[in-house]
């Protein structure tokens, strides 16, 4: 398994962090075919070879992802997309 761990500070509050997490998952879903659901303040996103947790907190969003062997070659591009989308949606 390949892992991705990204944290972004923000000043959006908890609702803003939840919205940012949803938007990032929505963007990733365009080509990773993810399904997602909330468990508390953690958005769990999964798809073939992708297991992600988007932890929303009042002052930060933390993303942890496990990629299967199949998606391992795409780790850098997936990480880059997560960085880009987090920057976009946590900018406030």
Q: Where are the domains of the chain?
A: 2-90
Distance CA 92, CA 52 (A): 23
pLDDT at 63: 98
How do the pLDDT tens digits run along the chain, 92 residues long? 689 999 999 999 999 999 999 999 999 998 899 999 999 999 999 999 999 999 999 999 999 999 999 999 999 999 999 999 999 999 96
pLDDT at 2: 83
For residue 23, give the nearest of 11, 10, 13, 36 by alpha carbon: 36
Global pTM reads: 0.93
**Residue carrying the six token digits 């993303």:** 63
Under CATH, which number does the domain 2-90 receive?
3.30.310.50
């Amino acid at each position: 398994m390949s892992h991705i761990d990204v944290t972004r500070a923000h000043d959006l509050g908890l609702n803003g962090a939840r919205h940012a997490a949803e938007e990032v998952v929505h963007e990733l879903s365009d080509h990773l075919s993810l399904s997602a659901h909330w468990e508390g303040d953690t958005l769990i996103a999964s798809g073939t070879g992708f297991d992600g947790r988007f932890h929303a907190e009042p002052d930060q969003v933390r993303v942890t992802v496990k990629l299967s062997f199949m998606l391992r070659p795409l780790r850098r591009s997936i990480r880059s997309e997560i960085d880009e989308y987090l920057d976009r949606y946590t900018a406030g």
